[in-house]
Amino acid sequence: MKQLCILILSFLWIGTGLSAQKTLAKQLGYPSNAKLLIIHADDLGVLHTVNEATFKAFEVGSVKSASIMVPTPWLAGVAEYAKKNPEHDMGIHLTLTSEWKLLRWGPVAPRSKVSSLVDENGYLYPDCNQLWENAKIEEVEIELRAQIDKAIAMGINPTHLDSHMGCLFAQDSRYYQLYLKLAEEYGIPAMVNHQIAQLGGEGSPPPVVINQILGAGTTDYDTDMAAYYANALRKMTPGVHVMIIHCGYDNLESQGMSFEHPYWGAQWRQQDFDFFTSEECAKILKEENIHVVTWKEIGQLVKH
């Protein structure tokens, strides 16, 4: 992931006031001072190893939510799992970029209909900046609808929407407005905190706004990922929060994807998997009285 993504996400992970979150906690059946957490594994579909590690984390760990990159090579494996495990919480990681050096993918929609979204080789651009410089917003909408529709056609019942690399949180508010429009039309929540909601200006806020979006950064990876996660959980305040992680196994497949790019790569994903399937994680959640919830539960609040 590129430096721009890091800056965007670091901005989005700033905590905000609790009044709306107290209301959301109550709506979910918890006291207003409860600490609620969605542990959210990104990038399902990108690799077989990411799929397998995430599914294992569902079964033996504290991970209860994930999101799917529809344009990626291992989508079929996700669809097969989703049909066999309909109770699991899996949303759509709306994807407009293809950031890895040697693992690339193109759009779901026909390239002739979304030509402004692809480079000379037919791949999605590697970062948000290039997307924003070249994309036509009407073609962005075509592609995002194609991703959601394909997932549904393959038997996946999306529980929420979120944005890969934060590309839908551009200064151009049309991206954010499109994000909310799709969430409303498909009747599922979009991952939005108060910082993201400000992109809508004076417009009506979405029906669900969470408190914090948390996640490890490059400094945490360079020092101690487990320490970051343990500290973040122990310092968690009342409200509804999301912890974004990336599960995977540190094997040849994963190493091939993250060739010359350690961040969010093979070792990073193994460390995320290790912590969130550990007894230490489960112990901290219990000690801090943190309730793990899902987008599926939140989605019941916005059903048409």
User: How many Å is the Cα radius of gyration of the chain?
Assistant: 18
Residues 6+ apart with CB under 8 A from 198: none
**Cβ neighbours of residue 181 under 8 Å, at least 6 residues apart?**
none
pLDDT of 302 reads 76
The conformational region for residue 122 under phi > 0 = left, psi -120 to 50 = alpha, else beta, is left
Concatenate the DSSP letters of all residues of 284-296 into one string: HHHHTTEEE--HH
Distance CA 166, CA 253 (A): 25
Tokens of 6: 């890091």
Q: Which residues of 52-66 are buried (b: 16+ CB within 10 A; e: fewer)?
A: bbbbebbeebbbbbb
Looking from the CA of 233 toward its CB, the CA atoms found within 13 Å total: 26
Spatial contact of 1 and 165, defined as CB atoms under 8 Å apart: yes
Exposure string for 188-210, b = 16+ CB within 10 A, e = fewer? bbbbbbbbbbebbeeeeebebbb
pTM: 0.92
CATH number of 3-299: 3.20.20.370
Cβ atoms 211, 15 nearer than 8 A: yes
Q: What does pLDDT average to in each consecutive run of 10 residues of the chain (304 residues)?
A: 46 42 80 96 98 98 97 98 95 98 97 98 98 98 98 97 97 95 96 91 84 96 98 97 98 95 96 98 98 95 71
How high is the pLDDT of residue 42?
A: 98
Distance CA 193, CA 53 (A): 27
pLDDT, residue 185, reads 96
- Looking at residue 16, its pLDDT comes to 41
Tell me what pLDDT residue 1 has. Answer: 52
